[in-house]
Amino acid sequence: MSTPKILILGAGYGGLVTAVRLQKHMNYNEVDVTLVNKHDYHYFTTWLHEPAAGTLDPDKCRVSIESLLDTNKVKFIKGTVKEIKREEKKAILENGEELSYDYVVIALGSEPETFGIQGLKEYAFSIRSINSVRQIREHIEYNFAKYKMEKRPELLTFIVGGAGFTGIEFVGELTDRIPELCEEFDVDPSVVKIYNIEAAPTVLPGFDPELVNYAMEVLSRKGVTFKISTPIKECTPDGVVLADGEEIKSNTVVWTGGVRGNAIIENAGFETMRGRVKVDEYLHAPNHDDTFIVGDSALIINEETNRPYPPTAQIAIQQGENLAQNLLAAIRGGQMKPFVPSLKGTVASLGKGEAIGLVGDKKIYGSTAALMKKVIDNRSLYMLGGLSLMLKKAKL
Annotated catalytic residues are 169
- What gap in Å lies between CA 200 and CA 27, rounded to an integer? 50
DSSP secondary structure, 138-161, as one string: HHHHHHHHHHHHH--GGGGEEEEE
Burial of 122 (0-12, 13-18, 19+ CB in 10 A): exposed
DSSP secondary structure, 17-80, as one string: HHHHHHHHHSPTTT-EEEEEESSSEEE-GGGTHHHHHTSS-GGGGEEESGGGS-TTTEEEEE--
Cα–chain-centroid distance for residue 366? 24
- What gap in Å lies between CA 360 and CA 371, rounded to an integer? 16
Cβ atoms < 10 Å from Cβ of 367: 11
- What gap in Å lies between CA 34 and CA 313, rounded to an integer? 22
Decide if 67 contacts 139 (C-beta within 8 A): no
